[in-house]
Amino acid sequence: MIDVLIAGAGPNGLMLACELALAGVRPVVLERHAAPTGEPRANGLVGQVVRLLDRRGLYARLSGESTPPSPQPAFTFGAFPLDLTMLAENPHYVLGVPQAQLEATLAARAAELGVDLRRGHEVVDLRQDPDGVEVVLADGTRLNARFLVGADGGRSAVRRLAGIAFSGVTDDRSISRTATVTVPESCLDPGTGGLRVPGYGVIPPFQHTRTPRGLITWAPFPGRPAILSTKEWPDAPVGDETPMTLAELRASAARVLGADLPVEVSDGPGLLRRLTSGNTRIADRYRAGRVLLVGDAAHVHPAIGGPGLNLGLQDAVNLGWKLAATVRGWAPQGLLDTYETERRPVAERVVMSTQAQSALIGPGDEVTGLRELFAELLRKPEVTGHIAALMSGADVHYPADPTDPLAGHCAPDVVVHGEYGPVRLAELTRTARPLLLDSTGAFAEAVAPWRDRVDVVTGPLRGTTATALLVRPDCFVAWSAGEAGTLRAALTHHFGLPAPAHSWS
């Protein structure tokens, strides 16, 4: 019997597979497409997920840089520019890589870890009992697994077959058009990289520009074709019966801006897409017996602000260690259920954020008045800081001991000054094992019964006021320095009873 079957080899399914493999579980990944589609989708990673990838050694592979990620000095929220330089602590990170590159990098990492990736296999049916799940593939093959995870997107077959409802709304009031384009050199603003439009002005790069008639976005990605997008709210619905054309996009841009935009189709493979509706939905349950959902299979929402991969990849990392602990037999009672109790509220918060932004970019004079007020508020550092934490996911706080000021929060970027010199937390978490950082060595005896599954690093800590931190595999704090008894309680709560017969390694 297979320990874990994962349906879907997108970023979330591959990330989960890597997490399981790091924890000593060898999953099988099923992907219905025979080869990567290369279809343009997400254009980058936004938020705390960038730090997470650094903590798995993947940031350098994706960015080509040897230095740690740095916060982004500016971003956008609801077509407002956010000046993040005013913040004492900026939590917002951005990594501009296309989804195809992310998937290729994660697939290569999964192969290194021994993950069995099977392309051209589509799940069409499933049956489960208390001991496992039987999966039926399109070619009639039957596979048996202890657990099945649906990472198969917003139209998830696994979610449907498991009988999990997908509650929410469909919004067909707006229409979005997107294409990869080229523009004359004379239309590029050399100072900003923006797009000069005669009769309108400059459209700044990588920001949503709103007018009372719609929204336009200009994204001149280095080394690849630029992307132009528009969004309108037409009086009458527009069907998807006819293919999208560049002339249609130009006409839309002219309506939004009140001026003609000289763009041409880019050379080579590109994107020419029209979307006439959008969904905002969250699965009623993230788990049905031995079937679980991750990423878009569990939640879909507007793409504004780019929160999708930030949410989905962190779902995968949260689920990975809990599912591995369950498979390997040392998970405490109820650990797997905390995947939903911790991650579903985060999805609800992302939905709130994207809905608020969608309202702020809408047409009409009333929205314009609301935006004037909102612009005043964003001049206050405390408001911009709140928005930045919301968009980046830095405000995520899991239920924890209320007397522990750090428990439940994402671990800070600690540096340990140990026997071999300073080491960043990001270098210590690449194995995805639980980790005790102990500045004095005072907790060695308390943690000893859990050393089969918890690593210990001793040395002075910089970047935190705590003298010791217990860090979960998903890089959230399980406990910060208190009495040895509270450490043992935290170890038991998160990592089960000490059981030398069960070894993580």
503, pLDDT greater than 60: no
Which CATH number fits the domain that encloses residue 302?
3.50.50.60
Please write the tens of the pLDDT for every residue from 109-154: 999 999 999 999 999 999 999 999 999 999 999 999 999 999 999 9
* More confident call, 237 vs 95: 95
User: Is the separation of the CB atoms in 399 and 387 below 8 Å?
Assistant: no
Name residues whose C-beta falls within 8 Å of residue 456's C-beta, 6 or more positions apart in sequence: 435, 436, 438, 444, 447
Q: What average pLDDT is seen over the chain?
A: 92
**Average pLDDT for 265-287:** 83
Report the pLDDT value the prediction gives residue 239, as an integer from 0 to 100.
Answer: 66
**Is 72 inside any structural domain?**
yes
pLDDT band for position 43 (50/70/90)? confident
Pairing of strands 226-232, 175-182: antiparallel
Report the pLDDT value the prediction gives residue 255, as an integer from 0 to 100.
Answer: 94
The upper half-sphere exposure of residue 425, i.e. CA atoms within 13 Å in the direction of its Cβ, equals 29
414, pLDDT greater than 80: yes
| Domain tally, the chain | 4
Least confidently predicted of 27-31, 190-194, 383-387: 190-194
Domain co-membership, 31 together with 122: yes
Report the pLDDT value the prediction gives residue 504, as an integer from 0 to 100.
Answer: 39
Q: Can you tell me the distance from the alpha carbon of 307 to that of 316, in angstroms, rounded to the nearest whole number?
A: 15
Chain centre to alpha carbon of residue 408: 18
Domain co-membership, 262 together with 182: yes
**Is 401 inside any structural domain?**
no
What tokens does 390 get?
Answer: 């919301």
Give the structural domain span for 385: 51-97+362-396
Using alpha carbons, select from 98, 118, 128 the residue that is nearest to residue 17: 118
Question: 364 — phi, psi (to 5°)?
Answer: 110, 155
Report the pLDDT value the prediction gives residue 499, as an integer from 0 to 100.
Answer: 67
Domain co-membership, 291 together with 341: yes
**Average pLDDT for 73-79:** 93
**Average pLDDT for 8-31:** 97
Kindly state the helix (H) or strand (E) to which residue 21 belongs, with its residue range: helix 11-22
Domain co-membership, 193 together with 272: yes
Domain co-membership, 295 together with 161: yes
Q: Can you tell me the distance from the alpha carbon of 92 to that of 386, in angstroms, rounded to the nearest whole number?
A: 11
Q: Where are the alpha helices (DSSP H) in 192-297?
A: 246-257
**Is 467 inside any structural domain?**
yes
Q: How many CB atoms lie within 10 A of CB 223?
A: 5
Q: Can you tell me the distance from the alpha carbon of 295 to that of 117, in angstroms, rounded to the nearest whole number?
A: 18
Q: Is the dihedral of CA 340, 345, 347, 348 positive or negative?
A: positive
Amino acid in position 40: P
Domain co-membership, 17 together with 120: yes
Please write the tens of the pLDDT for every residue from 280-295: 999 999 999 999 999 9
Domain co-membership, 124 together with 160: yes
Domain co-membership, 316 together with 336: yes
**Average pLDDT for 410-437:** 94
Amino acid in position 468: A
Q: Can you tell me the distance from the alpha carbon of 458 to that of 162, in angstroms, rounded to the nearest whole number?
A: 46
Among 257, 276, 295, give the residue marking a domain's end: 276
**Is 480 inside any structural domain?**
yes
**Is 503 inside any structural domain?**
no
Strand partners, 215: 210, 231
User: Is the separation of the CB atoms in 278 and 133 below 8 Å?
Assistant: no
Domain co-membership, 194 together with 323: no
Query: DSSP assignment of 42-66, as one string?
Result: ---EESTHHHHHHTTT-HHHHH--S
Report the pLDDT value the prediction gives residue 93, as an integer from 0 to 100.
Answer: 96
Please write the tens of the pLDDT for every residue from 217-236: 999 988 888 899 999 988 76
Domain co-membership, 288 together with 149: yes
**Is 413 inside any structural domain?**
yes
Which CATH number fits the domain that encloses residue 463?
3.40.30.120
Report the pLDDT value the prediction gives residue 183, as an integer from 0 to 100.
Answer: 87
Report the pLDDT value the prediction gives residue 501, as an integer from 0 to 100.
Answer: 44
User: Is the separation of the CB atoms in 227 and 219 below 8 Å?
Assistant: yes
**Is 219 inside any structural domain?**
yes
* More confident call, 491 vs 193: 491
Query: DSSP assignment of 145-161, as one string?
Result: EEEEEE-S-TT-HHHHH
Report the pLDDT value the prediction gives residue 139, as an integer from 0 to 100.
Answer: 95
**Average pLDDT for 3-31:** 97
Q: Quick one: angle between helices 381-392 and 338-360, nearest 10?
A: 130
DSSP tally for the chain: helices H, then strands E: 13, 30
Among 258, 276, 294, give the residue marking a domain's end: 276
User: Is the separation of the CB atoms in 227 and 43 below 8 Å?
Assistant: yes
**Is 502 inside any structural domain?**
no
Query: For residue 328, with 0-12 CB atoms within 10 Å meaning exposed, 13-18 middle and 19 or more buried, which class applies?
Result: middle
4, pLDDT greater than 90: yes
Domain co-membership, 23 together with 116: yes
365, pLDDT greater than 90: no
b (16+ CB within 10 A) / e for 124-157: eebebeeebbebbbeeeeebebbbbbbbbbeebb
39, pLDDT greater than 90: no
Please write the tens of the pLDDT for every residue from 322-356: 999 999 999 999 999 999 999 999 999 999 999 99
Residue pointed to by tokens 């890597």: 18
Report the pLDDT value the prediction gives residue 155, as an integer from 0 to 100.
Answer: 95
Q: Can you tell me the distance from the alpha carbon of 92 to that of 389, in angstroms, rounded to the nearest whole number?
A: 7
CA distances, 166 to each of 62, 308, 349, 494 (Å): 33, 17, 17, 30
Name residues whose C-beta falls within 8 Å of residue 182's C-beta, 6 or more positions apart in sequence: 225, 226, 263, 264, 265, 266, 267
Which CATH number fits the domain that encloses residue 179?
3.30.70.2450
Residue pointed to by tokens 């964003």: 378
Residue pointed to by tokens 């195809």: 100
Domain co-membership, 157 together with 139: yes
505, pLDDT greater than 70: no
Query: Residues, the chain, total?
Result: 505
CA distances, 18 to each of 105, 154, 159, 306 (Å): 11, 22, 22, 23
User: Is the separation of the CB atoms in 132 and 146 below 8 Å?
Assistant: yes
